[in-house]
Amino acid sequence: MASIPENRKFVVKSEEKGIRLDLFLSEKLKISRSQVKKAIDNGLVLVNKEKPRKAGELLHISDSVEVKQFFDPSISQSSGVVKTKRLKEYKIDVIEQEKYYVIINKPANLLTHPTEAHEPDTLVAWLFGKYPEISKVGESKDRPGIVHRLDKEASGLLVIARTQKMYEHLKRQFQARCVEKIYKVLVYGNIEAEHGVINFEIDRGKDGRMVSRPRIDKLKLKNVVKIQNGKEALTEFWVEKRFKRFTLLRVKIHTGRTHQIRVHMFAFGHLVVGDTLYFNKKLVKKNDNDLGRLFLHAEKLCFEDLRGEKKSFRSDLPKELLDYILDLK
């Protein structure tokens, strides 16, 4: 375990009431639940200054959760070997640099911006060093210039606003859902349809994870107990290649909900390879390669610049994802 000098403390908010301890810390620290459990088993986690009884303990409003030490989130769960990776070790490609914005190819396992844990190694920290003017852009000092993000374990294209005018311009486009976002995703199972649309609503479940289920007729009395309240979410996909136990998809999201692709695919019965949060152990075999990240890559991004011209950018699959596909049968 690699320790850090300061403790990490969190207070449970009203909207987090009833969340499991392991899921709470998994979200806060951006690590897997199994890693959180290791920290709990090693006595590194306190709830209201006492050791929790179990990893699945439910939290209450105003509970104080403290992580006395921390182990590196890039630890391999299969080998148990700690691999510390600092910001300077990540290869961050600048796809295009303009006066008003910059297009970044984010590597996997790098946070877009710091969470409540105040992580020092984030894309924002790198941006501060290269584009200091973004410190005055946006609505949050922790997310300067950031109008959208990618999950830590995912990779691909992000647009960062360098001026407030561009920030507002991009924000309006995202709100109007006219920004095109295309992803490459490898999922478990064989999807027979060449093309499909998933429109399940998404909301935060009682255990803290995002949840989704197929639409039902809410007007029918018999369905009242089955209603899963949530926000509209729309994911469209096309099959690119089929393997024995996997399907490679091209995915377009028409909305931008938290963990949308991962949650929709999980609810659809085809979870994303490498996902340790939305996980079904029945689909994963012991001899499957440990990818160490999500097989989720933002390969295409399109929007309008300040002149009204459409800008389109592409990013090829990273080598580790290409190599993973080559090993499949």
Residues 211 and 281 in one domain: yes
- Residue type, position 104, single letter: I
Transcribe 279-300 into DSSP letters: --TTT--TTS---SS-SEEEEE
Q: For the stretch 205-229, what's the b/e string if a residue is b when 16 or more beta carbons lie within 10 angstroms of its beta carbon?
A: beebbbbbeeeeeeeeeeeeeeebe
Number of domains in the chain: 3
Structure tokens at 317: 């699959």
Beta bridge partners of 103: 96, 159
In a domain, 142, yes or no: yes
207 belongs to the catalytic site:
no
Q: What is the pLDDT of residue 232?
A: 86
Residues 168 and 197 in one domain: no
Q: What is the pLDDT of residue 83?
A: 45
In a domain, 14, yes or no: yes
> Along the 329 residues of the chain, how does pLDDT read in single tens digits?
333 334 678 999 888 888 999 888 888 877 777 778 888 887 889 999 888 988 889 999 999 998 875 544 444 343 333 344 688 788 899 999 999 999 999 999 998 888 766 777 899 999 989 999 999 999 988 889 999 989 999 999 999 999 999 999 999 999 999 999 999 999 999 999 999 999 988 876 655 555 666 554 444 444 434 445 678 889 999 999 999 999 999 999 999 888 899 999 998 989 999 998 887 777 777 767 788 899 999 999 999 999 999 999 999 999 999 999 988 86
In a domain, 3, yes or no: no
Q: How far, in Å, are 44, 81, 188, 191 from residue 285 at the CA level? A: 31, 21, 11, 19
Contact indicator for 278, 254 with CB cutoff of 8 Å: no
Of 142, 151, 316, 323, the catalytic one is: 151
Q: What is the pLDDT of residue 222?
A: 44
Q: Report the CATH number at residue 271.
A: 3.30.2350.10
Structure tokens at 107: 């590597």
CA nearest neighbour of 183 among 231, 151, 225: 151
Residues 315 and 246 in one domain: yes
Q: Residue 132 is part of which domain span?
A: 87-176
In a domain, 311, yes or no: yes
Helical H runs in the chain? 21-29, 33-41, 123-130, 164-175, 260-267, 319-326
Residues 286 and 249 in one domain: yes
Q: What is the pLDDT of residue 261?
A: 94
Q: Report the CATH number at residue 47.
A: 3.10.290.10
